[in-house]
Chains A and B, each alone.
Chain A
Amino acid sequence: MGGTQEKPRNLMLGLIFKEMWFRKMQALLCLCGLAAVISLMTAYLTTEKAADRETKRITRDLGFNLRILPKETDMDLYWFQGFSDQTMPQSLVEKLTQSEGVFMTYNHLMASLRQKISLGNGSAILVGVAPTVTSADKKKRPMGFSLEPGTVHLGYQLGVRLGLKGGDILQVKGLSLKVARVMVEYGNEEDVFLYTTLQDAQTVTGLEGQINEIKAIDCLCLTADQDPVSILRAELEKRLPEAKVIQDRVQADARARQRQMVEKKFSFLSPFLMVAGAVWVAVFAMLNVRERRSEIGIWRALGKSGGMVATLFLGKALLLGGVGALIGFTVGNQLAQAVGPEIFQITAKAIRTEWSYLFWALVWAPLLSAMAAFIPAMIAASQDPAYSLREF
C-alpha cells in the first residue's frame, strides 16, 4: 500500500472520464450522434460556402454579360431582327481592350458583324465573327467554334434549303466560300445563320472595318453587388462615345433565385439537424441518469450537493459536445474536401478548410449537448437520494 501516492483523486474531470470509459458504448453512441450532426453541418456549410463562392462567380459572370452596340442603334429594330441596323469601327475592340482594368475586365470579347442577306430563294443572317479576344491574364480558351477564312458554317435550315453539305462550295454575293459544316438543328434563329470570319462578312457586305456588336462575356465589372450598367454607360460615354451598352441579366436573376432557394433549404434543414442531435443527446443523458440512480443517491448520501451531481452530467455533456465538435469538424471537412470538387468544378480548388466553423462547432456542439442534457441533469440533481437508494 505504501506504493500509492498522495495526489488529488476524483477530481470532476477525472470522474467524468472514468464514467465515460466505464460506459464507453453509451458514450460512443452519444459521441457518434453529435459528431454526425456536426460533420453533416460542417460538410454542408463548407460546400455551401464553396457553392456560394461559385454561385457568386457564376452570377457575376452571367450578370455582366454585355452587348456593346453602335450608339445610334434602333433598339426596337435590334430586338425585332436580332442585330443592329448601324455599324461601328472594328478598331473599337482594340480601344476596349486597352481600357481593360480601368473600368471593366472580361474573359472574352467577341466582335461580330451581322447583316441580313439574300441567299438562294430566301434570306439568311450573315454573321461574321472576329477571333475571340481573351483576357491576357486569364488562361481561358476562346469561346465558340473556330472559323477559317474562306469557309462557312451553315445553319441547319439553310443547309436543308440550299441542299448543301460539308465540302460544298457556296457562292455568296460573288464570293466563293467552302461549307465547313452544316450545323445541327438548334431550333432557333441560328438555323438560318451563316457564320463566316469577320473579314469575309465585311467583304460580302462591303462594310470593311465595320462591326455592329461586341459581346463582353464573363465580364467582371466592378463589384457583384452594384448595378454596373449606369456606371458602365457613363464610362463608355467617355471612352467609346460611338457605342452603347446593354446587359443580359435574365440568367443572372435566375441563378440568384436558385442560390436563395439553396440557402433557404439549408436554413430549413439545419434546425432539424440540431434538434435531432439534441434529442439524441437527451435520450442518452436520460438513460445515463436512470442507470446511475443509485450512484446519485450515494453522492447525495456522501454529502455532495445537487449542483455537484448536475455538474457531473452537464460536464459529461459538455465534454462529449467538445469532442463531438472536433471529430465532427474533422470528418465533415474531409467529406467536403472529398466530394466538393465533384460538385463544384469551377471553385473546386476554393473548397478549403473553414476554420471559423471549428470555432463555431466548439461553441455550439457543447452548448447544444449541455442544453439537451440539462433536463436529465436537473432530474439527477433533484432526485431524492432516499428513494433511489431504497430502490436498489
Chain B
Amino acid sequence: MLIAQNLSKHYPSAQGWIKSLDEMDLEVKAGEFLAIRGHSGSGKTTLLLTLGAMLRPSSGRVVFEGQDIYQCSTQQRAAWRAEQIGFVFQMFHLMPYLSVLDNLCLHGGAKAGSTQRADTLLDTLNLKHRVNHLPHQLSAGEKQRVAMARAMMASPKLILADEPTGNLDPRHATEVCEHLRRFCDSGGTVILVTHGELASSFADRTIFLEQGRLLETVDSHVQTAP
C-alpha cells in the first residue's frame, strides 16, 4: 500500500547538515498496524510527516498505491491527504474555537452526511455528551478521542498518529490504542509513532529507528527493546 524507497531528509544547521532520515526503505501493507519507535531525534516524526505527504524528502520516493506522491502537485497532495489520510497528534491540535462537532466537520463540513458521520464517530468513541463542548472543556483523553474521530471523518485508508498517547494516562492511552486497533481491524492502516511499549503492543509490527536509519523490525506482539 505504502512504500518508502531510499528516503532521506537532510536539514541544514549551524553545525552542518543533519540527517533526519538516511536512505530509509519501508513498506506498509494495507490493514497493517505499524509502530515506529526510537529515541528523540531518531527521525520518527520526520518519517511520519514524509509518509503523510507533509514533508518533501531530500531524496527518495514515497509511493502510495502505485502513485509517487511527491511527483504530484501541492494541490494534488493536499487533496490526497484530505481523502486518504487521517492525522492524530500528541498535542491533539484541535481548533480551540470550534465545538467537538465542528472540529470533526472540518473534513468536508458543508458536505451532506458529514454531521451524521460525526454523530456516529462520536457515539463510537463515547463522546456523545461532549458534542457541543469546546476543546478546553475536555479532558486530555477526550481531546485525543476527538482528534481520532476527526482523523476518521473522511473514512481514510491510512491513519498517521504521532505519539497520540504521549499526553495520556495508561487507561486513556489504552483506550486510544484500542480504537486505532479497531480501525485497523476494520481494514484501515495505521502508522503510529510512539515512545512507549504500550502503544506498540497493539501494533502488528514495530520498527526501531536510530539516527534516521532503520535499526530493527519486530513483528507481532513480541518485541524486545534494541
Contacts and interface: CB of A to CB of B under 8 A. Distances in A.
Interface residues on A, range: 20 to 34
Contacts of B98: 10, 15, 18
Given A4-B131, A9-B110, A10-B98, A301 B115 contact: no
A308 B125 CA distance: 30
Interface string B95-130: 111100110011101101111101100110000100
A294 B83 CA distance: 21
Interface string A366-392: 000000000000000000111001101
B54 interface: yes
Interface stretch (B26-34, B86-94, B172-180, B199-207): B86-94
A136 interface: no
Interface stretch (B60-68, B74-82, B217-225): B74-82
Contacts of B123: 1
A6 interface: yes
Contact of B105 (A2, A10, A386): A10
B45 interface: yes
B49 interface: yes
Nearest to A17: B97
A18 B106 CA distance: 13
A1 B123 CA distance: 8
B83, B114, B128 pick with most chain A CB within 10 angstroms = B114
Contact of A11 (B45, B52, B83, B110): B110
Interface in B147-176: 162
A295 interface: yes
A121 interface: no
B55 interface: yes
Interface residues of B, number: 40
Contacts of B82: 302-304
A4 B55 CA distance: 37
A297 to B, nearest CB: 7
Contacts of B102: 9-10, 18
B97 A21 contact: yes
A116 B202 CA distance: 121
Contacts of B55: 384, 386
Contact of B91 (A294, A301, A305): A294
A4, A7, A299 — most chain B CB neighbours (10 Å): A4
A7 B114 CA distance: 9
A389 B54 contact: yes
Contact of B93 (A9, A295, A305): A295
B106 A8 contact: no
A8 B109 contact: yes
A23 interface: yes
A390 B45 contact: yes
Nearest to B119: A1
Nearest to A21: B97
Contacts of B101: 4, 9
A298 B93 contact: yes
Contact of B115 (A4, A385, A386): A4
A208 interface: no
A294 B93 contact: yes
A1 B78 contact: no
Contacts of B78: 300, 303-305
A5 interface: yes
Given A9-B109, A9-B114, A294-B91, A301 B119 contact: no
Most chain A beta-carbon contacts within 10 A, residue among B97, B116, B122 = B97
A10 B106 contact: yes
B17 to A, nearest CB: 17
A298 B118 CA distance: 18
Nearest to B134: A22
A74 interface: no
Nearest to B112: A6
A389 B89 contact: yes
Contacts of B80: 303
A322 B61 CA distance: 48
Given A4-B101, A9-B101, A298-B95, A386 B119 contact: no
- Which residue of B45, B78, B79, B87 has the most chain A CB atoms within 10 A of its CB atom? B78
B75 A8 contact: no
In order of increasing CB-CB distance, the 8 nearest A-B pairs are: A303-B82, A22-B97, A10-B109, A386-B55, A9-B109, A9-B105, A303-B81, A8-B110
Interface of A: 1-2, 4-11, 15, 18-19, 21-23, 294-295, 297-306, 384-386, 389-390, 392
16 contacts: A1-B119, A1-B123, A4-B131, A7-B115, A10-B106, A10-B109, A21-B97, A297-B93, A301-B54, A302-B82, A302-B106, A303-B80, A303-B81, A305-B74, A389-B89, A390-B45
Given A6-B115, A9-B114, 14 more contacts: A4-B118, A5-B115, A9-B115, A10-B106, A18-B98, A19-B97, A21-B97, A22-B97, A297-B93, A298-B93, A301-B81, A302-B87, A304-B82, A389-B49
Interface of B: 45, 49, 52, 54-55, 74-75, 78-83, 87, 89, 91, 93, 95-98, 101-102, 105-107, 109-110, 112-116, 118-119, 122-123, 128, 131, 162
